[in-house]
Amino acid sequence: MKKRWLIFGLMFSLAGAIAATNALDITGKWSGTIDVKDESSGTNITTPVQVQFQQRDAAISGNIGRAEDNDLVPIKNAKVEGNKIYFEASSGETLGPAKFNLIVDGDHMEGEMKTSVDTGDITGKVKISRQK
């Protein structure tokens, strides 16, 4: 009898964890900046960006690019873990995919973007907000 209650309790805990994972909804248009420190000049380069997310349960897709660009690149390998979102996006300007690691706080996300260019590895600070 105890075993049956234990299994029943575990099922409810698992259902609660799944519901909590799916409670985060990032669907919509987001905009903000990526700040990269230019090591050669010691200055910061700020690039305005736009992101469009589509989320269905835990599956995330979308596009990202510069705010002034019409051609956005697709988001790949996206996943959500709690209030964190991870994804990649490839560009002709980088040697490999840019990897994003963001923390979602309501209508705001902040985190890092890491990629490589012909002059070396770069890390950017990402700050984006949901457009209303």
Would you kindly state where each structural domain of the chain is located, as residue ranges?
Answer: 26-130
Q: Does domain 26-130 have CATH number 2.40.160.90?
A: yes
pLDDT in tens, 83-124: 999 999 998 888 889 999 999 999 999 999 999 888 888 999
Spatial separation of the C-alpha atoms in residues 32 and 29, rounded to whole Å:
11
Residue 2 has what pLDDT?
Answer: 53
CA angle 89, 107, 30 (to 5 degrees): 40
125 pLDDT band, cuts 50/70/90, is very high
Q: What is the pTM of this model?
A: 0.78
